[in-house]
Structure 1
Amino acid sequence: MGWESVQAVLAGILSSPVFILLVSLGIFVALAWLALPFALYGVRRRLDRIIEGLDRLQALLEDVPGGPPAAPAGERAGGPVREGAGLLDELREALRGAVPELQERVLDAGRVEYVHRRGWGREFACLSVLLENGRLRASFPLRELEKAYPRFSGGQFEQYVRAFLGERHGVLPASPPGADELAVIIQPGTRKGLEIFAGIVREQLWGSMTEEASP
């Protein structure tokens, strides 16, 4: 009778909803504890990448010479079309140096598109550049980028552009804050602004694409 009573008590405990809940909670806590180091490693890796990007951008900013920007050679030669064409060539060169992985498509003499190939037959247009009135208009579809690349933050990308660029560098945001598409006007005058712009594209846009593709 004694052993049967013990068995009955044990059976009652094991079948108790409270016991099952406690066991489930213990298993969940154990699994969460085991996964915690991997989660922390991922967060630290992303923070390290952001810090490295900020350091590189800061180095570019410190290297910007003072005073008003010099007029480009195209303008001195007396032709806004030639000036704009030279500016487009400079931007293409800066982007090729910073993000050679993006595929460049020249649509015509004044339009260039940058595409990310995500696999066989899968492409995503992440940046379009238009030459108009001797200036460049670069457009980023922020919301579409966020859908295609969950690790990409349109808000953070826009903050970088507004914080590190401006009239001094000849790169001016042309869209209202929080818009679905970020438009940037690039004026002739300083190559350093193009390098900073390309660096932001490298660190914030391509960096998110790379993380998304990583296992």
Structure 2
Amino acid sequence: MITREMSSRQLLIFLILPAVIIILLVIIGPIFFAFTLSFNEATPRLGGIDLHWRGLLNYIHFFFQNAQFWLSVRVTLYFTIVSLIIELTLGTGIALVLNKKFIGRGFVRAIILIPWAVPTVVNARLWEWIYAGSSFGALNGLLKVLGVLAKDNNIVWLGFDIPFAGVPVLSSFFSWMGVSRALNMIILADTWKVTPLVIFLLLADLQQIPGSLYEVASIDGANSWRNFGLLPIPTSSRYSW
């Protein structure tokens, strides 16, 4: 029997093939189905749906006749921009701290990873309990213990109050954007979940910077801020994008 060793390229294809198949079935397939569905009018029935071809009429309706669609676009833009700014800012700062050598660094890294490792469903239930707008809500309870809130007062954290309601210009802008207290609280929960991933992506890149570069920069008279601008940011920019 003639045996042939598997080349590294064949081995690579063999190892990633199951993941590719799963991605095609779980992600690409539904996206393609949703794209096809967007050109039809779907009528649910027992055991499935009936499709009636509409062509571009659905897109014309949502782009030019449905104000709710553009409101959802503005809400999505606000959520994306604000959450990215917060997560990248916190992630970069914490990654720079964790890149330094100090006692217990490994333990701190493990603790920081926990929010990202916790399943999304568990995270959602956790924050639902934290934001509960009653005396049983963890956030309301904490504020009462600290004396910030009166014992008979509860804040509805997932309410639809518009931020800066007392400032006409800002309140009008946030109202137009569709921003509410609930949306800002969801951004906070998303930041808690996603920031650890940003931290470790940036940290992995920061650790590839040779220590000799910092030494050379120090010899040239660069302070900490100059080192931060000249070395970590340009080097880790590809991960940020």
The bucket for the TM-score relative to the shorter chain is: under 0.3
* Structure having the larger proportion of residues in helix: 2
How high is the TM-score relative to the length of structure 2? 0.23
Task: From the CA coordinates, give the structure whose radius of gyration is larger.
Answer: 1
* Structure having the larger proportion of residues in strand: 1
How high is the TM-score relative to the length of structure 1? 0.26
